[in-house]
Structure 1
Amino acid sequence: MNKWIVASAIAASTMSGSALAELDWSLEAGVEGRRFIESGAFAGQVDDQWSLTVQPELVWDTDSGNSRFTFVPFYRKDFADDERTHGDVREAMFMTWRGPWEVRAGIGKVFWGVTESLHLVDVINQTDYVEAIDGDQKLGQPMIQGIWLADSGTWEAFILPGFRERTFPGEAGRYRAELLVSDDAEYQASEEQQHVDLAARWSLVTELNGYPLDLTASVFRGTSRDPLLVPQIEVVNSVLTLTELVPYYAIQNQIGSTLQFAPEGWLLKAEMIYRDYQIDELPGVGEVKDQFAAVGGFEYTLVGPFGDAADLGLLAEYQYDSRGSDYSDAQNDLFVGTRYVFNDMASSEVLAGFTQDLDFGGTRLFLVEANTRLNPSTTLDVTMTLVTAEDDSLASVFRRDDTVEVALNFFF
């Protein structure tokens, strides 16, 4: 944690040459409770988790009007799982802009995905897995980012001078395998966490037959954000025993693309990647396959279908991964869902759906997410996750982790 505080201070020091015109601040604090419907599959797991979160945000603007510094630290205290108790600098970013150019330096978050059920191209930030298993929560990433706005689209280049290891649950935590993940990671790059990654992205917002069309293409070269988990074998009482999983971070090249097209009432979207690992085989894991993966589908919105102000969205997406079911749980899956937006003063919304594994008929994930605003400074989020899984599917380790989660968030 200390080195990220130091990095934040370095980013803040770039503001010293400019007078501060305005300081804005806000604070988000929350209390969250998780109830697991079934007892844990593995020794030491808890059935209930309570935690507190705090996330302040400070924004400084300069007198010149073309520079800003944003600082967003985050901390969670979990009263059951020590590994879920953690702090992070989500953002400590200095940005300045002039004409078509913008430069950002510090710690930040960048999101590249467009689909609902899976975000394949989103490669800049590391997943904060103890926050949520859907991969949407990310750790802050040290970066230098340059942006150029041109008639041909928006061009972005990234230098990423530092790697963040993925967070994993501890012994008491849920959504884990029987073996715990070690804190001592291994790297293909000799520089380990100090390896400098590179990325670039082109995006274009245009029209097709009068309807909005968004296209992107991206490239990435660096340490993979998805670790390979290597089982460790030790001799315990003269018996060979699997003791833990060690994360191994390989070097990868990735090219990706996204598409969004919005003809009347429809939103068509897709993500595609090709990932070339720079290692062919890893002891304890075996062959490391290159990956072609895609996810695509649609969302169709019915406006006021029940004669009120609400909108009903119908969603469907297909997920494919060339590596197959031994390497991915999204290798041949179908997501179907619905989004109900109340369009009320409380901004109430419900998303419900399920993902069906087409290779394993008994493996599926059900998800319900609901949120509303109780008053101008308080929101309520409710999430229910249900997992059914066949023994041979990767999701089988989660089949006793059916969860109801309730979170109250307070804004100041």
Structure 2
Amino acid sequence: MKRLLPVLLFPAVASAGEWLPETTTQLGLEYREFFQQAVSDDQAERSASVWLEPEMVWEWGAAQRLTFRPFYRYDSADEERTHGDIRELLWQTWGTSWEVRAGVGKVFWGVTESLHLVDVINQTDQVEAPDGEDKLGQPMIHAIWLNDAGTLEGFVLPGFRERTFAGEEGRLSLPLAIDDEALYQSDDEQSHVDLALRWSRSYEVAGWPLDASLSLFKGTSRDPFLLPQVALVAGEPAVVGLQAYYPQLQQAGMTLQSTVDSWLWKVEAVHRDYEREAQQALVAAGNDSGDDHWAAVAGFEYTLTGPFYDCCELPLDLGLILEYQYDERGKQASNAQNDVFIGTRWAFNDMDSSELLAGLVQDMTYGGSRALKVEASTRVTAQSVVNLNVWLFTADDEDDALAWSLRQEDYAELSWTLYF
């Protein structure tokens, strides 16, 4: 991978070196306050961090562009959250019906609000937030063809990124430490070359627009299985830590999205097929969740335009969201196996572009497991935005391992972002 990227980017860098880039930068300050005592005395009850994300764009000729977007965060409490990444280092060229991108990039395929099952190109940057929305940059060659039958995209992914996890002193961490050395099914480990293909097209059905996509992925799973590390403690075997295991995966995915009047209907579904070697390795480690399976999330968002304008002259729009998350592995699934998401989105339509999203995920299998999130943002100056994020977690059953590990991790996060 290290040898491949300079070859891919050399023509762009050589040509673009004569010009100064167009540059925009985001600078963020963030403060987190946890509401409960941490499980471990080593974990802080609060943290502060600063992050920087510049973006530099070179353009030349009629159809060439180079984009460089690095990212760095310093965190006062968690050395694992202090990290840097190349979110994007991408050379692009295009013609009338085609486009080629090469380098490091980010690709988003999801359509639903609460869970993105089909997103399989980029690895999750888990130390950024618990919702999995933040992603690491992925080395790729990405080719796009446009025609009457739809848009066809092909991916060659010549390098794998391991998921980031909070450190022992960081919050939102698991009760057991995760080993720095991951395990892989493939002997190529991080050098394994993955492949992906995606077709998408927009239709009109009964006068309403319908966006559809089908995707295929073959390679190293972005979602690791966490296997127990067993050692003798006082002469007895005991689980002393966890180790990430990345199996080989074949995934078929689909998305549907349609707008009907004020209704926005959404579906994501995947079928995951793990190789027999991975299944045997997981069973041997006491984990039987590597079976081939279907998973889906489906629902709608209904938007009320100006519901309070007549009575209160408030110009806000109100969105009502309902989605159901399903995984046929049931309790063997790591999360989202039988869950309902209920949410509301407020767009205040004011000069400061104020917005608020609140949502509750309720586990229907483990009735005491739920998570509430609130995201609010407003512009305070022409170049800066303030965000408030709140997460509340509840669990009463140790069998629901993920929810149980987060039961004391409620927190509020206030951040200020400057754009220049």
Q: Is the 8 A contact 1:8 1:92 kept in 2?
A: no
Aligned partner of 2:238 among 218, 237, 241? 241
Q: For the Cα contact (< 8 Å) 1:7–1:107, is it kept in 2?
A: no
Cα displacement string for residues 123-181 of structure 1 (whole angstroms, at most 9, x for unaligned residues): 00000000011110000000000000111100000000000000001011122221111
2:169 alignment counterpart: 172
Q: Report the equivalent of 2:249.
A: 252
Matched, 1:143 2:149: no
Is the Cα–Cα contact under 8 Å of residues 71 and 93 in structure 1 kept in the other structure? Answer: yes
CA positional deviation for 1:382: 0.3
Counterpart position of 1:46:
44
Contact 1:221 1:253 in 2 (8 A): yes
Deviations 1:217-253 (A, max 9, x none): 0000000001111111122443433221110100010
Question: Displacement, 1:111?
Answer: 0.3
Of the three residues 300, 307, 310, the one matched with 1:298 is 300
Q: Which moved more, 1:113-122 or 1:327-336?
A: 327-336
Structure 2 residue aligned with 1:313: 319
The equivalent residue for 1:388 is 394
Q: What's the % identity of the aligned pairs? A: 50
Larger mean CA deviation between 66-75 and 352-361 belongs to 352-361
Q: Secondary structure at the match of 1:106?
A: strand
Alignment of 1:62-141 (within 5 A): 62=60, 64-141=61-138
Contact persistence 2:208–2:260 (CA under 8 A)? yes
The residue aligned with 2:279 is 280
SS of the counterpart of 2:12?
coil
Q: Residue deviations 1:198-222, cap 9 Å, x none?
A: 0000000122222221000000000
Query: Which amino acid in the other structure matches residue 280 of structure 1?
Result: Q
Are 2:193 and 1:191 aligned? no
How much does 1:17 deviate?
5.1
Secondary structure at 1:83 match in 2: coil
Query: Are 1:32 and 2:38 counterparts?
Result: no
Q: 1:200 aligns with which of 197, 201, 207?
A: 197
What SS does structure 1 have at the residue aligned with 2:110? coil
SS at match of 2:320: strand
Question: Match of 2:405, SS?
Answer: helix
Q: Partner residue of 1:411?
A: 419
Distance 2:75 2:229 in 1: 28
Q: Per-residue deviation at 1:10? A: 5.1
Letter matched to residue 319 of structure 2: G
Separation (CA, whole Å) in 2 of partners of 1:285 and 1:11 = 43
Distance apart, 1:65 and its partner CA:
2.0
Distance in 1 separating the partners of 2:317 and 2:12: 45
**Counterpart amino acid of residue 295 in structure 1:** V
Residue equivalent to 2:355: 349
Structure 1 stretch 172-181 or stretch 349-358: which is displaced more?
172-181
Aligned length: 408
Secondary structure (helix, strand or coil) at the match of 1:325 reads: helix
Residue deviations 1:286-315 (CA, integer Å, cap 9, x gap): 322222100000000000000032100000
- C-alpha separation between the residues in 2 aligned to 1:356 and 1:202? 33
1:326 to 324, 327, 332: 332
How far apart, in 2, do the equivalents of 1:271 and 1:172 lie?
36
The answer as to whether partners of 2:212 and 2:257 remain within 8 angstroms in 1 is yes
Question: 202-211 or 247-256, which moves further after superposition?
Answer: 202-211
Structure 1 residues 86, 16: closer, same or farther in 2, change over 3 A? closer
Preserved CA contact (<8 Å) 1:389 1:399: yes
Match of 1:225 in 2: 222
**Which has the higher mean CA deviation after the structures are superposed, 241-250 or 8-17?**
8-17
Query: How far apart, in 2, do the equivalents of 1:176 and 1:22 lie?
Result: 42
Within 2, Cα distance between the matches of 1:205 and 1:184?
Answer: 44
Give the Cα–Cα distance (whole angstroms) in 2 for the partners of residues 168 and 249 of structure 1.
15
Q: Distance in 2 between matches of 1:237 and 1:390?
A: 30
Structure 2 residues not aligned, in runs of 5+: none
SS in 2 for 1:382: strand
Please state whether the residue corresponding to 1:267 is helix, strand or coil: strand
Deviations 1:290-341 (A, max 9, x none): 2210000000000000003210000000000011123232111111111000
Within 2, Cα distance between the matches of 1:366 and 1:204? 34
Distance 1:11 1:404 in 2: 43
Which amino acid in 2 is paired with 1:158?
A: F
Report the TM-score, using the length of structure 2 for normalisation: 0.94
Are the counterparts in 2 of residues 11 and 92 from structure 1 also a CA contact under 8 Å? no
- Write the distance in 1 (CA, Å) between the matches of 2:414 and 2:365: 33
Contact 2:227–2:287 under 8 Å retained in 1: no
Which residue does the alignment assign to 1:401? 409
What CA distance in whole angstroms lies between the structure 2 residues aligned with 1:92 and 1:73? 8
AA at the equivalent of 2:279? D
**2-structure distance, mates of 1:362, 1:120:** 24
State the secondary structure of the residue aligned to 1:38: coil
Aligned-residue CA RMSD in angstroms? 1.5
AA in 2 matched with 1:103:
V
Q: Distance in 1 between matches of 2:334 and 2:246?
A: 17
**Quick check: 1:30–1:409 contact (8 Å CA) kept in 2?**
yes
Farther-moved stretch of structure 1 (318-327 vs 379-388): 318-327
Shift in CA distance, 74/11, structure 1 to aligned 2, threshold 3 Å: farther
CA contact (8 A) 1:321 1:328 kept: no
Residue type of the partner of 1:365? Answer: A
Residue segments in structure 1 that go unaligned for 5+ positions in a row: none
Q: CA deviation at 1:43?
A: 4.1
Cα distance in 2 for partners of 1:10, 1:111 equals 25
